Amino acid sequence: MSEFISHIGGLAEAGERMIERLRKKAFLPESRKGLSVRIGIAEVASLLGCSTNRIRMAEEDGRLPSPTPTTNGRRPGYSIEQILHMRKVLGASPARSPMDEPAIIAVQNFKGGVGKSTVTTHLAHYLAVQGYRVLVVDCDSQASTTTLFGFNPHFNITRDETLYPYLSIDPTQEDLRYAVKRTPWPNVDLIPSNLELFDVEYELAAAGADGQSVLTARFRKLKQGLNELARDYDVVLLDPPPALGTISLAVMQAANALLVPLAATTPDFCSTVQFLSMMDQVLQQLLAAGIAIDYSFVRLICSKFDSNDPSHALVRAFMEQTFGPALLPVPILESAEISHAAIRMMSVYELAKPIGTSKTHKRCRANLDEALGQVEQLIRQSWGRVAPASEAEAIYAV
C-alpha cells in the first residue's frame, strides 16, 4: 500500500513541477503575469459611453496626456490603467455610490467541470475592463482561480496567505487584509488559495462534532471579514469548493448574490438540480439556526455551450423550460480561444492578440461581453441603476 501512496505522491510532485515550468514559460521573468493588452480609441470610447472626438479634445486641452505615437506613426492603444484615469477625468466611472451595497457574488455549483473558475476569472476581468473595482476570493483548495491569476499555489502561496489564518480554529489574523494580493490588473485584487486551505474543513468538521457554535461563529466571521473588505470594492467574487462543506456553507452565507454555472449536458443538468435542492435544504437549516441569508439575485448561466452540438441545444431547451427567467438568456460559448488562453494561465481579456484566428477571437470576446454583461446589469439593478446612456443617446434622446 505504501508503494502506491508513494507513487501517487510522485505523480503529484511531477505535476507541480510541470505547472511551474508552464508558468515560467508563460509569464514574465519575475514570474508574475504582466498585462500587455491595449485597447483602441474606438473601443475605449464605447466603454466610456462617449465619442472618440471627446477623448481627443481632452488630450488636446491637457486634461488627458497625449499618447506617444508608435514607431510607424500610428495611434497606440490604451492600457487598462490609462482607461481608468480617463474614466475619472471624463466622469465615466461605473463605481457604486457609498450608499450602494457592494455585490458579493458566490459563483457556485457542487458539480466540477462546469467552468466555475473560468467564469469567475473572466467575470472579474470583464468587470475590470468596464471600470469596476473587483476583489476575487479563491475559497477552493484546488486553487484553479489562483492559478489563472498567475500564481502557482504549490510554489508561490503559503497557507498563511490564504483564508486559513482567519478561519482556523486558532486564528492568527483578525481581518482579511493580510491576504489581499495585487494582480496585474490595477483594479482587481485577489485572495489566493492552495491545498492547505482544506485544513479548515478538517478543523471545523471536528469542532462541529462538539456542537454547532464554532461553525456558526466561523460563518458569521467570514461574512463580517468580507463585508469589511468590500467597502473598498464594487464587486467581490467568491469561488467556493465544488462540494458541500463548511467553507461552501460559509460562502453561501457571506454572499448577497448567487451565480450558478452549468454545462449543457444531461449529467450537469441533473447535478445542478440536485445542487439547488440540497442548497434549499441547507439554507432552510441556516435560517432556522438564526443565520440570515439574503440574495439580491440568483441566476444560472449556461457555460461551455457548443451551438453546433444538437445535444447541447436540447439540454439548453430543458434548462429554459425548467428554470425560466432564472436562466440567463445568453450562454457562454465553448471556444478554442478560452482553451488556448487557459493553457497560458490567462483569460481571453488578457490576450494582447488573438491566439487562434482573429475571427475566432472576436466572436469569443463578443460572446463573453454579452454573456457577462448580463451579470453586470444584475449588479447595477441591485444598486437601483440601469445601463449608463451613451453620449449619442443622451444628445439625441427625445
First to last CA, the chain: 78
Q: What amino acid is encoded at 142 in this protein?
A: Q
Q: Residue 109 — pLDDT band, cuts 50, 70, 90?
A: confident
pLDDT at residue number 256: 94
Write the DSSP assignment of 152-199 as a string of letters.
-TTTT--GGGSSHHHHSSS-S-SSSGGG-EE-SSTTEEEE---GGGGH
Alpha-carbon distance of 210 to 202, in angstroms, equals 13
- Of 6-20, 78-92, 172-186, 312-326, the range with the lowest mean pLDDT is 6-20
| Lowest mean pLDDT, pick from 3-7, 122-126, 375-379 | 3-7
Closest CA to 150 of 25, 304, 303, 17: 25
pLDDT at 210: 54
Q: What pLDDT was estimated at residue 300?
A: 92
pLDDT bracket for residue 10 (50, 70, 90): low
φ and ψ at residue 367, rounded to 5 degrees: -65, -45
- Per-chain mean pLDDT for the chain: 85
Average pLDDT over residues 129-155: 92
The stretches of 209-245 forming alpha helices (DSSP H) are: 213-230
- Residue in the block written with cell 455549483: 109
pLDDT at 291: 74
Lowest mean pLDDT among 12-16, 81-85, 253-257: 12-16
* Statement: residue 376 has pLDDT above 60: yes
| pLDDT grade for 96, boundaries at 50, 70 and 90 | very high
Rg (CA), the chain: 22
C-alpha cell at 126: 470583464
* Mean pLDDT to the nearest integer, 249-268: 90
Domains and CATH numbers, the chain: 41-90 (1.10.1660.10), 103-392 (3.40.50.300)
pLDDT of the residue at 26 = 58
Lowest mean pLDDT among 41-50, 66-75, 104-113, 231-240: 66-75
